[in-house]
Structure 1
Amino acid sequence: MSVIIGAYEAMPYLVECLASVEAQTIDPGRMEVIAVDDGSTDGTGECLEEFAARVPIPVTVIRQENSGGPSGPRNVGLAKATGRYVFFLDADDRLGPEALERMVAMADRNGTDVVLGRVEGVNRTAPKSMWGQTLDRTDVFSSNIKFTLSAQKLFRRALLDRHGMRFDESLWTGEDAVFTLEAYLRADGVSVLADYTCYYLVGRDDGKHVTKTGGYALRFDSARALMKLIADMVPAGDRRDLLMVRPFLITLLPQFGPKFLTDAEEVRRHKFELAKPLMDAYWTPGVARRLKVHERLRLHLVAMQRADLLLDVVKFVKAKRQAAAVLEKRGTRLYLVYPHFRSPKAGIPDEMYLADAREARAFEGYREAAANSFPRRALRKIRRMLPRKGFGTAAA
């Protein structure tokens, strides 16, 4: 298998990263390392070359001019890879000792094309919702793997080669999300290894793991690319809506969070301009109903281009105030009273404030409309069709 490390100004974190590669329990003869130094000036290249000269693992070090982002080094490494599997390891992170052995074994055992190993954050947060249980075989529609689209996964190289998959070098952020989601969608099965920490996501003190250059516009580029991929690969309907939740919730919505309150008026207008074609093309009732009320309401106001109303909602959310609840239909319908609820002037549909069962259960007095469920209706219909036995019925 091939471990691909793209490195830029990675010292001193690279030392522990490489130590974690050297400590892998998989037979060194079954792996290769392809390390690409992307124009570093802090000794990263020299550290990689010293590692290559010392360890029993076959290591290829490539030194190149700075490409400006992680996509270039990853693509260079991928072009050189010869292993059945590839794993993209960031130079400031590290692997659990048994990570590669366990992930390769899982892919071999189940015939799956992508393996996700459990991730743990070190001085930074890591995704959590997909690690509830180990799954030998799943897909992007049946699990929460859509909420971890970083590149630090095990990929079957034949899958990537068959579809000519490479990282989009025109994207300065979110390039790994597009690559990984495409792999999920094209894969013959995905495995989730949840009972062993395979990857340690390390927070750098200098913050260089976070893309900052270019500001907010990069996030819209990322959202646009991911939404287009989903629309191109998944027909319109519930399955597409399910996947669209991810770019709307993770990439687009934060642009209309607390930071929006301090944005200059010109920036606010620009954000609305950037969001408009995305909302027009991809915002659907199916996406909306899968979100919490405050998420759905904010995105609805973005779609309606109502910055004036959005400001009031964002202020309310930032204050972390609990929205009052309005119960109707004998407690089976619950609305959350965020700003402009049932305001004739605002004209926002009630559905934007309607909590689904998961959100509504937290409120006293709410009861799920079980009486209106299909099984109950079917049972009532059967009972009406049965012959009735009443007083005065003659004996047979």
Structure 2
Amino acid sequence: MEKLISIVVPVYNKAKYLHQCLDSLINLDIDKETLEVICVDDLSSDGSLEIMNDYSREYDFIKVIPLEENSGSPSRPRNIGFEEAKGKYLALLDADDWLDSKGFPKLLLQMEENGADIGFGQSYKHTNKNITKLGAFTSYKKENQLVPYEIDKIFRAVGPPGKIFKRSIVIDNNIKFEHMAFGEDKLFFTELISKCENASMTNEAVYHVNRHAENVSLVRGTSILEKAAINLTLLRKIMKLEIPQSAKKSILSRMVEVDFMRRFFHTKTFLASLEKDKYYKIFGEVVQTFSENGLNIEDYIEIDKFKNIYRLFNTNKANLEEYLEYLVVEGHKSFYVENGVVHQRFPSKFSGLNDVTAECFAVYGGTHYLNGDFYEIIHFYKEPQVDINGVYMSKISDESKQQSIKYKIEDNKIYIRTNDLKFNEDAGINLRIAYDGFKSILVNSSLPNASETYQQKRQNFKVEFKQRSEKSLLPADSYISVLPQYIVAVKDINTYLDEDFKNISPKRFKAGTRISIDDTVKSQRGTPRLKTKEGYIISANKKLVKELTDDLIGGYVFEVPKEVKIIRKCKLYESVSFKTDPLRTLEPGEIMKVNDIVYTKKLTPRLVVGENIYMTANLDYVEAIY
């Protein structure tokens, strides 16, 4: 029987996740006679090849291709898989991810029935903390006969998740993955989507992305400046692609706004950098690249706050850096309502810039007794062109669990019968407003505030409805209650063998230690506790431990390397805080052996390179060697 679909799985040292990945393929609701799975092993050294071979011996639709040399990226394994594939359609699956057993086959059938060149389905990102939708604009409805490169924002999701495509498009146009340290997906899928003529879309779950903290990515150690340099190379390559002009306009707009503004300037890493001149130099080359190709970069900037960034880049870089603080730093943000629209407030020196507004903003208005019934009221503030499409309950921290709610709108208020606010499972919920097709927001617990004197506490909190409990709960603000990826001990802390802290363990964590967390638990009185990967129970009190979030990890060495190479002068200290006199200056090219990573009270990582000797972990200064 001819193969309908070939799924290519590039593998390099993913033994920990391979069973979940391959089991998801076995469990696909599809005739296995029509399925082909091609696993390409990139010379794994952790037992991955043995696992794949075991599956291949048991399931004849699974084929394993071992490479004799490590290629250093998924590009070559993917290309080899495509060359070997026999299926009418192709899909890529990373070895640490998994496919949805029902949604993936449904999208494939939908494509086959409608003659689609490419199909887009819903992808979900799974972290230790939550489950969120990826690229909702690619999969917010069920529809066919779409022109793929004209789907709004389509080029803002240029990776494998949630995509199925015809093999003939790849082969006939000789589209291949280039070997790159970063960005090979962007180039491949830009060309692929632009060469397809007919697309299907579904809002069914199709692909699940593993972004748990312990799953180390190849690109995590790549600094923002390194990524920007690669993106500049990609920009020049994409400029030369022979693709429809509307497709080129969309992808170039994505690169300017997302790659060279949102992830480049619009970051805490840029604000904290001592090498801002390098950022400005790269962006100057971006502007020059547009000019050399007869294009005006301003024509590719659509969002007002990014228009402002470009204007300040050209006129006043000191003001640009201050302006970015108001966009990025939570404590600098303030908002107000005018004519039914929420605006961000900036100092008067920025009054000549474009106004920055929220397309839609919603606030919970409480329970009201009206005409003999109880109603939940949501006040909304929106720009005139925005259309409200629906109201949903979603499980707190899990967007994959969602239910629609009946509602009515009157005078910029949404009315929901209180009795309709019932979720299908035992879980706390958020309220979510859907608007303009694929967009959505969570309902806030309060209106914005723009006081110049005071900052409103918990201004950005989203309204949460949690099930009532008879247990007494200590104030949530004092404890970490949502599962974190990692925490850092800010003081020396004990570990215990039980949630009530009756049985102390000999294990003790020193201040500054990073601790992997497996679960959140509670004592019999309801006090939040944290369970470590090793099974110890520790305090969740924020006076003793702090959560290590993704924005703090960015730009620093995260996993303990064997050594680091000095790439910019830095110093050795005898204190984690760097408040003592430096021991000596390290010169570029020096190699330092690393013993551990510890954290300051402000959660800045430091490398331990000797007994009580510390140095920076900033990737602008060091290159990790694993």
TM-score band (shorter)? 0.7 to 0.9
1:53-94 C-alpha deviation (Å, 9 max, x unpaired): 111324133233221112121112112112111111000000
Aligned to 1:377: none
The alignment status of 1:165 with 2:208, answered yes or no, reads: no
Instruction: State TM-score, norm by structure 2.
Output: 0.51
Contact residue 357 and residue 368 of structure 1 kept, 8 A: no
Question: Residue 209 of structure 2 aligns with which residue?
Answer: 201
Query: Secondary structure at the residue paired with 1:2?
Result: strand
More divergent stretch after superposition (121-130 vs 246-255): 121-130
Cross-structure match for 1:22: 26
Could you tell me how far apart the structure 2 residues matched to 1:11 and 1:224 are?
A: 34
* Pick aligned residue for 2:228 from 216, 220, 225: 220
Structure 1 residues 250 and 259: alpha-carbon distance in aligned structure 2, compared to 1, 3 A threshold:
same
CA deviation after TM superposition for structure 1 residue 210, in Å: 5.5
Aligned match for 2:257, one of 249, 253, 264: 249
TM normalised by structure 1 equals 0.78
Q: Give the Å deviation of 1:310.
A: 2.1
* Distance (whole Å) between structure 2 residues aligned to residue 198 and residue 114 of structure 1: 14
- The equivalent residue for 2:96 is 92
Between Structure 1 and Structure 2, the one with more helix by share is 1
Hey, what's the Cα distance between the residues in 2 that align with 1:260 and 1:47? 43
How much has 1:358 moved relative to structure 2? 3.9
- 2:63 counterpart of 1:63: no
In structure 2, the CA distance between the partners of 1:96 and 1:333, relative to structure 1 (3 Å rule), is closer
The residue that corresponds to 1:394 in the other structure is none
Asked if the contact 1:92/1:202 (under 8 Å) is kept, the reply is yes
Change (3 A) 1:365 1:248: same
> Which residue is equivalent to 1:259?
269
* CA RMSD after TM alignment: 3.4
Cα drift, residue 298 of structure 1: 2.2
Cα distance in 1 for partners of 2:89, 2:225 equals 34
| Counterpart in the other structure of 1:77 | 81
Where in structure 1 are there 5+ consecutive unaligned residues?
344-349, 370-396
- Tell me which protein shows more strand as a share of its residues: 2
2:38 to 24, 34, 52: 34
**Inter-partner Cα distance in structure 1 for 2:245 and 2:197:** 22
SS of structure 1 residue aligned to 2:240: helix
Q: 2:199 aligns with which of 179, 190, 197?
A: 190
Q: Distance in 2 between matches of 1:32 and 1:67?
A: 23
For 2:356 and 2:195, how far apart are their aligned partners in 1?
34
Q: Which amino acid aligns with 2:165?
A: F
Matching residue of 2:299: 286
1:106 matched to 2:110 = yes
Q: C-alpha displacement at 1:172, in angstroms?
A: 1.4
> Aligned partners of 2:381 and 2:105: how far apart in 1?
52
Task: Give the 5 Å matches for 1:367-386.
Answer: none
CA contact (8 A) 2:155 2:250 kept: no
AA at the equivalent of 1:168: E
Q: Match of 2:257, as an amino acid?
A: L
Q: Secondary structure at the match of 1:40?
A: coil
Which residue of 136, 141, 144 maps to 1:128?
Answer: 136
Structure 1 residues 217, 355: closer, same or farther in 2, change over 3 A? Answer: closer
Task: After TM superposition, give the deviation of residue 278 of structure 1 in Å.
Answer: 1.0
TM-superposed deviation, 1:262 = 1.5
The whole-number CA distance in structure 2 between the counterparts of 1:93 and 1:247 is 26
Distance 1:198 1:278, change over 3 A: same
Instruction: Report the Cα offset of residue 322 of structure 1.
Output: 4.3
Which residue in the other structure is 1:382 paired with?
Answer: none
Provide the secondary structure at the position in 1 that maps to 2:282.
helix
Render the CA deviation track for 1:97-132: whole Å, top value 9, x for unaligned.
Answer: 134432332222222211112111221643323322
Match of 2:325 in 1: 315
Distance in 2, Cα, partners of 1:132 & 1:234: 29
234-243 vs 37-46, which deviates more? 234-243
Aligned to 2:598: none
User: What is the CA-CA distance between 1:337 and the residue it aligns to?
Assistant: 5.2
Amino acid at match of 1:300: R
In structure 2, distance between residues paired with 1:166 and 1:91: 20
Q: What amino acid does structure 1 have at the position aligned with 2:323?
A: V
Any idea what the Cα deviations from partners look like across 1:272-326, whole Å, max 9, x if unmatched?
A: 21221212334633322x21x3333224334x28542222112222233445679
**Distance in structure 2 (CA, Å) of the matches to 1:236 and 1:323:** 41
**Does residue 1:269 correspond to 2:273, yes or no?**
no
Aligned to 1:374: none
Would you say the 8 A contact 2:9–2:39 is kept in 1?
Answer: yes
Q: Which amino acid aligns with 1:249?
A: E
Task: Kindly indicate whether residue 14 of structure 2 is the aligned counterpart of residue 10 of structure 1.
Answer: yes
| Cα distance change of structure 1 residues 305 and 359 upon mapping to structure 2, 3 Å threshold | farther
> How many corresponding residue pairs?
352
- Give the 3-state SS of the residue equivalent to 1:338 in structure 2: coil
Whether the aligned pair in 2 keeps the contact of 1:151 and 1:179 (CA below 8 Å) is no
Displacement of 1:176 in angstroms is 0.7
Asked if the contact 1:175–1:222 (Cα under 8 Å) also holds between the matched residues in 2, the reply is no
Deviations 1:119-156 (A, max 9, x none): 11221643323322122122222333222111232121
1:353 aligns with 2:354: yes
Is the CA contact (8 Å cut-off) linking 2:124 and 2:208 kept in structure 1?
yes
Indicate the SS of the match to 2:138: coil
Q: Secondary structure at the match of 2:9?
A: strand
Displacement after TM superposition at 1:19 (Å): 0.3
1:156-186 CA distance string (max 9 Å, x none)? 11000111000111x2112112111211111
CA contact (8 A) 1:38 1:73 kept: yes
- Structure 2 unmatched runs, 5+: 291-295, 364-379, 386-626
Change (3 A) 1:260 1:339: farther
Q: Does 1:52 align with 2:56?
A: yes
Query: 2:322 corresponds to which letter in structure 1?
Result: D
Q: Secondary structure at the match of 1:33?
A: strand
Separation in 1, partners of 2:78, 2:30: 22
Q: Secondary structure at the match of 1:313?
A: helix
User: Sequence identity, in percent?
Assistant: 19
Alpha-carbon contact 1:167-1:179 (below 8 Å) kept: yes
Q: How far apart are the structure 2 equivalents of 1:365 and 1:181?
A: 36
Contact 2:360 2:383 (8 Å CA) reproduced: no
What is the SS of the residue equivalent to 2:67?
Answer: strand
Q: Which structure would you say has the larger RCO, counting Cα contacts within 8 Å and 6 or more residues apart?
A: 1
